[in-house]
Amino acid sequence: MRIRNITSSQTPEKMRATAMVTWEDCDQPEKEIFIETTINQGADLAATPDAFLVGCLIPALHFGEKRITIDGETCPGLLGGVAEIMDLMRIWSGGTMHPLIVEPEKISGKTGLDPKHRTGMVYSGGIDSIATLRLNMLGYPKNHPGVIQDCFFIHGFDIGGVVARGMKYHVFDRALAAMERVISSAGLNMIPVYTNIRHLCDDRDLWLNKFFGAVLASVAHTFSARVDRFSIASSYDFENLAPCGSHPLLDPLYSSFDMAIAHKDAHLKRIDKLKIVSAWDSGFQNLRVCLANVEDRLNCGKCEKCIRTMTGLVAIDALHKTTAFIEDDVTPDMFESFKINIRHREPFYLELLPLLEKQGRMDLVRTIREKLRE
């Protein structure tokens, strides 16, 4: 793989960082990839080789490229992390992914000794990101360098990430409006970001199990002129870790001397996060967990992720307190259309059982146990 023509460009509405990706050992088409933001946020967006190396690494491994050459300067700290990432991917893939050679045009001599002392995070409006933001707000004084000031909401993940489903910019704008209500109430900055890096490989398993954290890190590096610390909320707690695109072993390895990336709050179980979110009304009323992206609702109330979250809220007696879901209860028939024992979802349900029993919801306890045995 060759990553070249790394450059920035501007339109009246957007600032964009781009790179051209050319494959050498497979038949994938040449593609221009980009990360962009609105013009009012674009002053701090930079077309950095580190960002595009991070974004392209997992697809290059997936398609069997033997090397990556990249124009410009690459941080030696990031190169060290990339070597560890490649070995982790070798293990997670059962040996089907093989480490490749990374050939930067030049090794960066920058030392990272001019820190900006500014922290950002990826913010999706889901349980994990809201809990991470809220804990940061509660745990840091406002003048501390570790307090989150910038929240990045990214088009090209569940919205606009799968080519066949279309870009759905109107869905993104609707979700962004809900996110902005939360972020503005907290006195923070909401930064919309648009990228097509996921389109390098549309394979869903690769995206979920190995790839999506790399694209989060790629976005972080593109804004390294604005922030030098970037938080990614955990997907699983330490007790229930599994190979995942965002992982406490993986995310920090995407760091450089200009950008420290942290995987946050893996010490908390999902039910702990639900309690944190339900106690912060601004975040709770604008909770967005659904990937269905239906019209006129943040959450469809029917998919597995919606039902799982709603069931957790029933378990802590909080579902009726949020307008993020139209429904105010969960019934056993809602579980009929999906499985709950795939993609390492079982821990999320198992931790609900004692609380549901305490609530007297044996109908849901029986349903969950039956679904786990399927």
245 assigned to some structural domain: yes
- Please indicate, yes or no, whether residues 90 and 127 belong to a single structural domain of this protein: no
Instruction: Identify the pLDDT of residue 181.
Output: 94
273 assigned to some structural domain: no
Average pLDDT value for residue range 126-132: 98
49-62 and 212-222 helices cross at what angle (nearest 10)?
160
Residue 113 has pLDDT above 60, yes or no: no
Instruction: Identify the pLDDT of residue 139.
Output: 96
270 assigned to some structural domain: no
Average pLDDT value for residue range 303-311: 97
**Residue 211 belongs to a domain with what CATH number?**
3.40.50
278 assigned to some structural domain: no
**Residues paired with residue 17 on neighbouring β-strands, in sequence order:** 8, 35
Rg (CA), the chain: 21
255 assigned to some structural domain: yes
- Please indicate, yes or no, whether residues 83 and 131 belong to a single structural domain of this protein: no
- Please indicate, yes or no, whether residues 99 and 123 belong to a single structural domain of this protein: no
Average pLDDT value for residue range 138-146: 92
Strand (E) positions, the chain?
2-10, 14-22, 31-38, 67-74, 101-107, 119-122, 148-155, 189-195, 229-233, 260-264
- Please indicate, yes or no, whether residues 214 and 135 belong to a single structural domain of this protein: yes
Q: pLDDT tier at 111 (50, 70, 90 boundaries)?
A: low
- Please indicate, yes or no, whether residues 61 and 151 belong to a single structural domain of this protein: no
pLDDT tens, residue by residue, 163-210: 988 999 999 999 999 999 999 999 999 999 999 999 999 899 999 999
- Please indicate, yes or no, whether residues 123 and 257 belong to a single structural domain of this protein: yes
Tell me which of 52, 87, 107 is where a domain ends: 107
Average pLDDT value for residue range 58-84: 97
Average pLDDT value for residue range 108-116: 67
Q: What percent of the chain has pLDDT over 90?
A: 92
- Please indicate, yes or no, whether residues 214 and 311 belong to a single structural domain of this protein: no
- Please indicate, yes or no, whether residues 102 and 126 belong to a single structural domain of this protein: no
pLDDT tens, residue by residue, 320-330: 999 999 999 99
281 assigned to some structural domain: no
Q: Which domain holds residue 87?
A: 2-107
Number of domains comprising the chain: 3
- Please indicate, yes or no, whether residues 260 and 296 belong to a single structural domain of this protein: no
- Please indicate, yes or no, whether residues 88 and 135 belong to a single structural domain of this protein: no
- Please indicate, yes or no, whether residues 138 and 58 belong to a single structural domain of this protein: no
β-pairing verdict for 14-22 and 2-10: antiparallel
Residue 130 has pLDDT above 90, yes or no: yes
Q: Are 288 and 324 in contact (CB under 8 A)?
A: yes
**Mean pLDDT for all residues in the chain:** 95
112 assigned to some structural domain: no
pLDDT tens, residue by residue, 275-301: 999 999 999 999 999 988 887 788 999
- pTM of structure: 0.95
Average pLDDT value for residue range 73-94: 97
Instruction: Identify the pLDDT of residue 295.
Output: 78
Instruction: Identify the pLDDT of residue 17.
Output: 98
Instruction: Identify the pLDDT of residue 97.
Output: 98
Give the residue with greater pLDDT, 278 vs 114. 278
Nearest to 344 by CA among 276, 243, 256: 243
Instruction: Identify the pLDDT of residue 115.
Output: 64
